[in-house]
Structure formats: structure tokens, C-alpha cells
Structure 1
Amino acid sequence: EGEAQDQEYLQEALRTLDLSLGRADKLGLQKNQTGLLINKLLRDVHCAERTGMTQNMCKKCLTPDTVLSGLEDDDKIYLNEEDYQQISTVL
């Protein structure tokens, strides 16, 4: 039961952040859409307002390359649940 629940974290995060990715979301988050996740997250936590900077400055601090840097470069198109759990520590 705990393992099945762990497999739901990525899907729950995508739903919570309103990042429905259509039928492909069952496979995971596409790596090239990591920027969408980051931008949505930065807006939802009010980064610009809290730091007194612009949203563009917030985006420069947390880039997709930074978030994905902790993963192996295995040419996968999608992030699976394990990948998401690894990058979530950065997020």
C-alpha cells in the first residue's frame, strides 16, 4: 500500500499545480516541460512578492537545468516517479 501511494506523488503534484499533460501524464512529466512546473511553482509560492524581485529573476534562480542536474543523463523523455522524488528536494 505504501509503495502504491509513493507512485502517486508525481501525479498529485501535477494535478495540484494544474499541469495536466493529457494522456502522456500517465508516463510522467516530460523533461522539456520541467520549466512549466518550475514557473507554476514559483508563482504559487509568490516568489516575486516574497523576495521583492521580478518573476524573471525568480526563474533565473531555479532553472530546469538546475533541477534536472541531479538526475542521470539517460536520454529519457519523461521523468518517472523516482526522478520526480529526486528533483523534488530541489523544488
Structure 2
Amino acid sequence: MRGAKDKNLWSLFLLLLAGIVLGGFLGTLTQNVSFLSWLNYGQAFGLANPVVLNLGILVITFGLTIKITIASIAGIFIAVFVYKIL
């Protein structure tokens, strides 16, 4: 059995990222299904309008919005569970 020293934090990060993305995807897929629509319930926060930095010859646009749903939280829990098993 593998010890805690063998586990890599990068693998945890990638599993968490995959859990968030797959959970958000499943939440979006189930938003029109009546008995599963609660999976897409959540809150979005971030910059409503992007910030534009015009430097004359270079224009940089900054924007970030994060949407946390019940499905993405479930994806995080599943990713942590899988990480502990491996």
C-alpha cells in the first residue's frame, strides 16, 4: 500500500480540476431535467464587465467569472475520494 509520501500534490490538483469541470458539465446537462435541475443551482461571482488596459499598440483584456454549483461541489468530493483511494 502506498504511503502519504508517495502521493503527489499535482495529481490532487488535476483530480480536483477534473472534478470541478465534470461536475459543472453535468450540472449544465441536467439543468432542463425537472428532477435533476437542483444540480445546477449555484452562485456566480467575478468581474461582470472585463477590465481593458489600452497601451496604444497593445490592448489587454482581463476578466474572470467563477460559477460554483452543487454538481461541481459533488465533483470535488468525488475527486478527493478518488485521491484517497489511489
* Structure of greater Rg: 2
Higher strand share: 2
Higher helix share: 1
Q: TM class by shorter-chain length?
A: 0.3 to 0.5
